[in-house]
């Protein structure tokens, strides 16, 4: 399969499922017989500092002291992409043709507030879903009650290209008229758009920006890391299209970014590298890149609460279900080998590789 055919095939999946981010997932489907269990069935896992929230099969799990426990959210829909709202969680509930964001108790799972109302008028014409919307990757801007997220509003027919908007977390309802100051980005058509907004302490964001690029005579949809200090503002691009970087995550001390990058000219461009870089000028520039994990089917690297280690999702090998991995010293000159956190020979978990882990101090 040539890379253009591969890219277009995954782009079709992105449109069908409302995701503009992980083009490597198709390569990550398990072709071996493995017993998949729920994370809370594991009797052993490597303890990590702090508390982590992850998603598997539409369920959010809390990981603390080496054990997983289920967050008992309502059973309707597919829960994913947890983020923090003070002592509560912000979570996405994905339905067949729309998604909504909620505030939930992290222990009981009780819903505190529905942030969006993205299902179209009821009854909905089953042949027309143009009045339904998607929201993904919701994050609060630091020290505010302003939510930034990727959404396909305003929808252009059935086209799903995400742009990044901000609105109050109490009622996330973007408006284009009058001219809105709440829209951070304008996406490129038929690319997946702008995804994974990552707030910075200064009020700006990093994000993944997808565009069609010509690389050595081949047209490919690739991602660069964008920076904006506010909305609306000019975007500064921090990486090159040929590096194909996405999924940025900023260390809590605001000194480093970790992301997924790949050499788009490589014959193994379906595989990626986990890369760090110093965060300079408040996010407006990056320092030299440093490879932490190379040639893997990795997704969503995430900094620890103390900014000293990272975790990420990947199979144990070139195929299989997505496990949780930990790198103790990612900035070391000689990076230690990643540790498989969910290592239990008799069973395996399969985390949602489109749902970034949330890693908190407590």
How many helices (H) and strands (E) the chain has is answered by 1, 24
Q: Which residues lie below 8 Å from residue 107, measured CB to CB, with a gap of 6+?
A: 62, 71
Q: What is the mean pLDDT of residues 63-85?
A: 96
Domain 3-360: give its CATH superfamily. Answer: TolB, C-terminal domain (2.120.10.30)
Share of the chain above pLDDT 70, in %: 85
* Residue 348 DSSP one-character state: B
pLDDT of 127 reads: 57
pLDDT of 158 reads: 73
User: For residue 313, is pLDDT > 70?
Assistant: yes
pLDDT in tens, 39-71: 999 988 999 999 999 999 999 999 999 999 999
Top-confidence residue, 157 or 284: 284
103-107, 298-302, 339-343: least confident range = 339-343
pLDDT in tens, 217-262: 888 999 999 999 998 889 999 999 999 999 999 999 999 999 999 9
pLDDT of 155 reads: 79
Residue bearing tokens 């819903």: 111
Share of the chain above pLDDT 90, in %: 71
pLDDT in tens, 343-360: 777 678 999 999 999 999
pTM value is 0.89
CA pair distance 83, 103, nearest whole angstrom: 9
Strand order in the sheet with 194-199: 194-199, 205-215, 218-228, 236-237
- Which residue, among 297, 240, 233, 306, has the nearest Cα to 270 in the 3D structure? 297
User: For residue 11, is pLDDT > 50?
Assistant: no
Top-confidence residue, 155 or 46: 46
Q: What is the mean pLDDT of residues 145-159?
A: 88
pLDDT of 123 reads: 55
Q: What is the mean pLDDT of residues 15-38?
A: 51
Confidence tier at 213 by pLDDT (50, 70, 90): very high
Mean pLDDT score of the chain, rounded to an integer? 87
CA angle 197, 201, 206 (to 5 degrees): 25
pLDDT of 10 reads: 39
Confidence tier at 216 by pLDDT (50, 70, 90): confident
At 7, is the secondary structure helix, strand, or coil? helix
pLDDT of 330 reads: 98
pLDDT in tens, 274-296: 999 999 999 999 999 999 999 99
On the 0-12 / 13-18 / 19+ scale of CB atoms within 10 A, 55 is buried
Q: Please check whether residue 262 is in contact with residue 215, taking contact to mean a CB–CB distance below 8 angstroms.
A: no
Q: Please check whether residue 197 is in contact with residue 139, taking contact to mean a CB–CB distance below 8 angstroms.
A: yes
């Amino acid at each position: 399969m040539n890379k253009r055919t591969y890219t277009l095939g995954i782009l079709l999946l992105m449109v069908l499922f409302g995701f503009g981010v992980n083009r490597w997932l198709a390569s990550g489907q398990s072709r071996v017989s493995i017993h998949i269990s729920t994370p809370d069935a594991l009797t052993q896992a490597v303890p990590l500092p702090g508390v982590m929230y992850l998603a598997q099969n539409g369920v959010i799990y809390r990981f603390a002291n080496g054990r997983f426990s289920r967050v008992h959210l309502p059973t309707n829909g597919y829960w994913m992409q947890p983020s923090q709202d003070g002592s509560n969680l912000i979570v996405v509930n994905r339905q067949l043709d729309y998604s909504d964001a909620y505030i939930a108790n992290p222990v009981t799972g009780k819903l505190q507030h529905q942030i969006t109302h993205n299902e179209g008028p009821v009854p909905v014409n089953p042949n027309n879903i143009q009045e339904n919307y998607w929201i993904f990757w919701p994050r609060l801007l630091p020290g505010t009650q302003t939510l930034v997220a990727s959404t396909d509003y305003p929808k252009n027919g059935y086209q799903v290209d995400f742009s990044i908007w901000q609105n109050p977390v109490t009622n996330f309802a973007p408006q284009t008229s009058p001219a809105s100051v709440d829209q951070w980005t304008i996406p490129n058509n038929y690319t997946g758009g702008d995804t994974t907004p990552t707030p910075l302490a200064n009020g700006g964001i990093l994000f993944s920006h997808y565009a069609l690029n010509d690389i050595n005579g081949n047209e490919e949809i690739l991602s660069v890391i964008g920076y904006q200090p506010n909305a609306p503002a000019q975007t500064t691009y921090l990486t090159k299209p040929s590096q194909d970087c996405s999924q940025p995550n900023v260390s809590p001390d605001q000194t480093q970014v970790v992301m997924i990058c790949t050499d788009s000219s490589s014959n193994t461009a379906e595989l990626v590298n986990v890369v760090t870089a110093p965060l300079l000028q408040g996010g407006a520039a990056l320092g030299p890149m440093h490879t932490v994990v190379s040639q893997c089917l990795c997704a969503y690297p995430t900094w620890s609460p103390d900014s000293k280690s990272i975790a990420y999702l990947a199979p144990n090998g070139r195929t299989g279900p997505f496990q949780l991995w930990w790198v103790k010293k990612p900035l070391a000159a000689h990076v230690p080998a990643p540790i498989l956190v969910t290592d239990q020979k008799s069973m395996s978990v399969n985390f949602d590789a489109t749902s970034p882990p949330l890693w908190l101090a407590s």
